[in-house]
Amino acid sequence: MTRVRQDNIIALPKPRTTSKLCVEEALRKRRTVRSYLRQPLNLAEISQLLWAAQGLTDRDGNRTAPSAGQTHPIEVYLAAWNVEDLPPGIYHYVPRGHGLERLSDREVKAELAEASSGQEWIADGAAVFVLVGVPERARELLGDRCTRMVHMEAGHVSENIFLQSLALRLGNAFVGRFEEEKVRAIIGLPESELPLALMPVGRKR
């Protein structure tokens, strides 16, 4: 996603940068959660999770997750359907300025569950974070290693989301079993962007 329409950006609440949860406790408690209450998340929680995924952490453009050669080839999309103050739709996270770009007003929870071999529980959450790789962004620097690097970077981003979700007392999961072309079509991704992971999130049951 290279085109960012500034008139279509939702400013997110400022993320917090401290917490009472220590890293050891977060690591010990991290678990996949597939069962959610049908209660909305709020925009501050979504903001915090997006910051944990790819938020900027200094003036040099570095982020919460490491990146091979600072190429930052991961894009984070959000398919939301139960978030206060955020209409259902598909969004794209813009790290600079910490905003959400609205791409569509479609509610896609059933489509995402269907594209994931019918893992129906995905639709019970409030939203799904879609981690997408853009290998070509890293090719000039990394050559043919770029695709491998992009997969590793998605792993870093996903663990950040797991730990942040725990600190917010939310539940989340990592879904790798999905049909790539279906997810590409649902989110509206160009050919150059590879869907790598779906991360449903919701209030823990």
Residues near ligand FMN (CB under 6 A) are: 31-32, 34, 119, 173-177
Q: How far is the CB of 154 from ligand FMN (least distance, A)?
A: 9
Q: How far is the CB of 173 from ligand FMN (least distance, A)?
A: 6
Place of tokens 């997969």: 151
* Nearest position to ligand FMN, beta carbon: 176
CA nearest to 7, candidates 108, 102, 71? 102
Q: How far is the CB of 119 from ligand FMN (least distance, A)?
A: 6
Which CB, 112 or 142, lies closer to ligand FMN?
112
Q: Is 75 helix (H, G, I), strand (E, B) or coil?
A: strand
Which CB, 20 or 177, lies closer to ligand FMN?
177
Could you give the CA distance from residue 134 to residue 36 in angstroms, rounded to a whole number? 31
Please say whether the beta carbons of 128 and 199 come within 8 A: yes
Alpha-carbon distances of 95 from 11, 51, 56, 162, rounded to whole Å: 11, 8, 6, 19
Q: How far is the CB of 117 from ligand FMN (least distance, A)?
A: 8
Which CB, 103 or 162, lies closer to ligand FMN?
162
